[in-house]
Amino acid sequence: MSPIKRNPKLLSSKSTALLIIDIQEKILAVMKDPELVVSNTIKLIKGFKVLRLPIFYTEQYPKGLGSTASQITNELEGFNPIQKMSFSCFGAEDLFKRLSDNNVSQVVVAGIESHVCVQQTVLDLLANNIQINVAADAVSSRKEIDYKTALERMRYNGAEITTSEAVLFELLNVCGTEEFKAISKIVK
């Protein structure tokens, strides 16, 4: 009998990074459910820090759209934003190279707006053979139709659509560890 396999789409702590896209003060206020996006993004950040996994975050045209929301930057002390003018993070300095240099083959995505910067980034990462897991409860758009259509399009093109809590427990893989205890407190 051949060995039992795990699904290769399950996230692995050996190859996963978190990418937070453009959760900036000036546009966050007009998003649908901004508090939900922020709280779930913070859960992801805290969980990734517990697991000591790479975290990257971008800012779209900060001169005009302001900096990343303070609740998020408070959790990202020691991390620096990657600034961009392009909608896709493909144009965000050397982000794609940094992912490659860190042997990242799976990226968890949070951010705004679902149908613009998030979607374009996801499609570009997929084109570069990186598995994407979009945390549906940590992305948003101004309009429901844009949000739903973006999730549908990203899924159709190969992205995994999931939730923040599912991501964290998938990365844990097992219970009973100190990391499990810490993440259990985070998701409550």
What's the rounded Cα separation, in Å, for the pair 67 and 79? 13
What's the rounded Cα separation, in Å, for the pair 138 and 36? 7
Residues 6 or more apart whose Cβ sits within 8 Å of residue 26:
64, 65, 66
Q: Is there a domain that residue 10 lies in?
A: no
Torsion-angle region of residue 3: left (phi > 0), alpha (psi -120 to 50) or beta?
beta
Q: Is there a domain that residue 3 lies in?
A: no
What's the rounded Cα separation, in Å, for the pair 182 and 28? 28
Residues 6 or more apart whose Cβ sits within 8 Å of residue 42:
71, 72, 75
Domain with 168 in it: what CATH number? 3.40.50.850
Marked catalytic residue, from 22, 89, 124, 137: 22
Q: Is there a domain that residue 7 lies in?
A: no
For residue 1, name the pLDDT band (cuts at 50, 70, 90). Answer: low
43 catalytic? Reply is no
* Mean of the per-residue pLDDT values of the chain: 93
CA distances from 37 to 20, 72, 110 (A): 11, 10, 8
The string of pLDDT tens digits covering residues 3-39 is 888 888 989 999 999 999 999 988 998 999 999 999 9
Q: Is there a domain that residue 126 lies in?
A: yes
The string of pLDDT tens digits covering residues 78-117 is 899 999 989 998 888 789 888 988 899 999 999 999 999 9
What's the rounded Cα separation, in Å, for the pair 77 and 54? 13
Q: Is there a domain that residue 6 lies in?
A: no
The string of pLDDT tens digits covering residues 136-162 is 999 999 999 999 999 999 999 999 999
Q: Is there a domain that residue 43 lies in?
A: yes
CA dihedral 59, 127, 137, 179 (to 10 degrees): -90
Instruction: Give residue 139's domain range.
Output: 16-187
Q: What pLDDT is stored for residue 179 in this prediction?
A: 87
84 catalytic? Reply is yes
Q: Is there a domain that residue 81 lies in?
A: yes
Marked catalytic residue, from 89, 117, 124, 137: 117
Marked catalytic residue, from 43, 46, 63, 84: 84
Q: How many domains does the chain have?
A: 1
Q: Is there a domain that residue 8 lies in?
A: no
Q: Is the pTM of this model over 0.75?
A: yes
Q: What pLDDT is stored for residue 167 in this prediction?
A: 96
- Write the DSSP assignment of 35-68 as a string of letters: HHHHHHHHHHHHHHHHTT--EEEEEESHHHH-SB
Q: Is the distance from CB of 93 to CB of 82 less than 8 angstroms?
A: yes
- Tracing tokens 């570009």 back to the chain, one arrives at 124
Starting at the edge strand found earlier in the chain, the sheet holding 131-140 runs: 82-84, 55-60, 16-21, 106-112, 131-140, 160-162
